[in-house]
């Protein structure tokens, strides 16, 4: 839809699945994952860095396949 429907041009593909991310990037689609979304929240002062990292770690402990960056303030 992102590639074929005009109303979705400029949209992001959001996934934590590595294969899906690589596919979208190969297609030229901008991709984000959970860590990217939380980093944006930190940059926009919607949440703090420690809060975002705590959430990512908890998600990982619960079996979610999330990337945990060294610094959420920069992507």
- Scan for tokens 């944006």, then name that residue: 40
The per-residue pLDDT for range 5-56, each reduced to its tens digit, is: 999 988 999 999 999 999 999 999 999 999 999 999 999 999 999 999 999 9
**Kind and range of the H or E run holding 73:** none
Task: Please state the pTM of the whole predicted model.
Answer: 0.80
H runs (alpha helix) in the chain: 18-26, 34-43, 49-61
**Domain boundaries of the chain, sorted by first residue:** 1-32, 34-70
Question: Taking a C-beta distance cutoff of 8 angstroms, is the pair 35, 72 a contact?
Answer: yes
């Amino acid at each position: 839809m992102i590639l074929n429907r005009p109303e979705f041009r400029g949209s992001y593909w959001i996934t934590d699945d590595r294969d899906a991310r690589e596919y979208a990037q190969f297609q030229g689609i901008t991709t984000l994952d959970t860590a990217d979304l939380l980093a944006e929240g930190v940059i926009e002062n919607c949440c703090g860095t420690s809060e975002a990292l705590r959430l990512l770690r908890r998600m990982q402990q619960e079996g979610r396949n999330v990337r945990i960056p060294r610094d959420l303030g920069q992507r």
